[in-house]
Amino acid sequence: MRRAPDGTALRSILLAAALACAPAAHAAPAAPAPVPTDTLRLTLDDAVRRAMERGTDARIARARSEAAHGRVHEALSAALPQLTGSVNYTRTFSSVFQGVSADTVFGPLLSNSPFAAENQWNASVTASQVLFSRKVGAAFSAARVYRKASEADEREARARAALAARRAYHDAAAAGRVADIAAETLAQARAHLGDVERLYRQGLRAEYDWLRAQVDARNGEPDAIAARNAAELARLQLKRLLDVPAAQPIALATPLALDDERVPVVTDDAATPQRAALESAEQNVLLRRRAVSIETADRWPSLSASATLSHQAFPHDWFPEQSQFHRDLTGALKLELPLYLGGRTSAAVTRARGELEEAQATRDRVRQDVAIELEQARQEAHRALAALAARRGTAALARRAYSIAEVRYRGGLSTSLELADARLQLRTSEVNEVQAVRDYLDALDWLEFARGSAPPVRYVPIDQLTSTDTGDSQP
């Protein structure tokens, strides 16, 4: 005879059964997806492509465009034939005809009719078609215009996402280059400190030179840390824009430099803008005009036709047999005349016309904004090019001056103060040159966005830029 389990064994069995039957909601939460640790190599084109695919604004515009396509099909469906089917079951628990005896003449008739039958089944198919309706046609036309406006908005959003990606990429590349310059300057100051300390120990340099070299080296440390932090923040901004996890390392494969030391100079910036925003504004005006037509169409009659094929059964049992169904076929024409709707149509037309005037004013404002933005982009391109030419020349002079200062200091012809000043000027001029390159590339990207197309350019060696190229020529 098998012995019954004791209390401990019984509790163990119950606990195992409870764990096995526990709902999934009480299970431990799933661990988050691991963050990729491999370095993501990004070129400028990769960043632009990723921003247009994963950027928030681009995704919203793409979703609106898809919704617009759905609205077009939805509006078209109102003009196409409609076919619906239904199956209804009705159970009568109490009826005023239940007292009629089945032996009478009306008894069998009532039991096989919707009046006194306990079980009623009705399977029907209805087909309908709109024969005349101005509102359906106006709605379909408005949906098509809305789709075009949404597609223009999507193109504008993609262009803005590309511009933002280019700027963020240039900012990250420039910040990284500035951090490298700060690190190089700090390394130069520390190397100079080592030389001065060695000469001071030998009695060839004064204590003032040694103290001055220490001050210069220590002053460079906060600048290097700040530049490194700025570079990391710029990379985080780029990751956020490109939907890259913050913990995933990235490598910028496109350097912030001019190809073969040649500058793209715009040759013809007097062009009519071809912005998608202009097309979107025009389509919105057309959409509001279609809306006026839709509201006005409520004053017109509408005509539709329909046909219904139904099979009815009134079984004594719950479920009928096939032989118990009776066919019924009907057809109808429906003419609707809006005689009086309480002034709703007039109010709706007034509202639609007001929205049309607002859309027209918005279109005119968009035209003005695009024209102003284009002119600002042109002026910024000229300014940035002039600044690039000036910063480039200044950086070359500063590098030459620092090399001479090093030779003079080693020969005892200058002081450490002059060398530190030359080093500071070199760092400042190199940082300004990097920022000038970034500003000019951003200006070209902005000009392309403002125009709606890439401007024609010719490539000029950076050391051969003239006042005519930079727009500084006097009349």
Per residue in 209-265, pLDDT (tens digit) is 888 889 888 988 999 999 999 999 999 999 999 989 999 999 999 988 888 788 899
**Is residue 44 over pLDDT 70?**
yes
List phi, psi (to 5°) of 202.
-85, 0
The pLDDT of residue 37: 67
Residue labelled with tokens 């949404």: 150
Distance of CA 470 to the CA centre of its chain: 35
For residues 265 and 110, the answer to whether their CB atoms sit within 8 Å is no
Backbone angles phi, psi at 119, to 5 degrees: -120, 130
| pLDDT for 100 | 54
pLDDT at residue 407 greater than cutoff 60: yes
d(CA 332, CA 328) in angstroms, rounded, equals 14
Q: What is the pLDDT of residue 7?
A: 46
Average pLDDT value for the chain: 84
Decide if pLDDT at 23 tops 50.
no
pLDDT in tens, 91-102: 877 776 665 545
For residue 106, the model assigns a pLDDT of 56
Q: Give the pLDDT score at 371.
A: 92
Which tokens hold the place of 192? 């100079």
Q: On the CB side of 167, how many CA atoms lie within 13 Å of its CA?
A: 16
Contact between residue 78 and residue 141 where contact means Cβ atoms under 8 Å apart: no
- Measured in Å, how far apart are the chain's first and last C-alpha atoms? 119
pLDDT for res 98: 60
Cβ(315)–Cβ(321) under 8 Å?
Answer: yes
Question: In the predicted model, what is the mean pLDDT of residues 468-474?
Answer: 60
In this model, does residue 5 exceed pLDDT 50?
no
Alpha-carbon gap, residue 315 to 122, rounded angstroms: 12
- Mean pLDDT across the stretch 411-438? 89
Q: Which two tokens stand for residue 29?
A: 């939460």
- C-alpha distances (whole Å) from 444 to each of 158, 264, 350 are 17, 9, 46
State yes or no: pLDDT of 289 exceeds 80: yes
Name which of 16-30, 135-149, 177-191, 305-319 the model is least confident about.
Answer: 16-30
Q: What is the largest CA-CA distance in the chain?
A: 139
Share of the chain above pLDDT 70, in %: 85
> What Rg, from alpha-carbon coordinates, does the chain have?
40
Domains of the chain: 45-79+134-301+365-470 (1.20.1600.10), 84-132+303-336 (2.20.200)
Reported confidence tier of residue 417, pLDDT bands at 50, 70, 90 = confident
> Is pLDDT of 46 > 90?
yes
Q: Would you state the pLDDT for residue 104?
A: 57
Give the C-alpha separation, 362 to 29, whole Å: 50
84: nearest Cα among 31, 126, 117, 130: 126
pLDDT at 134: 86
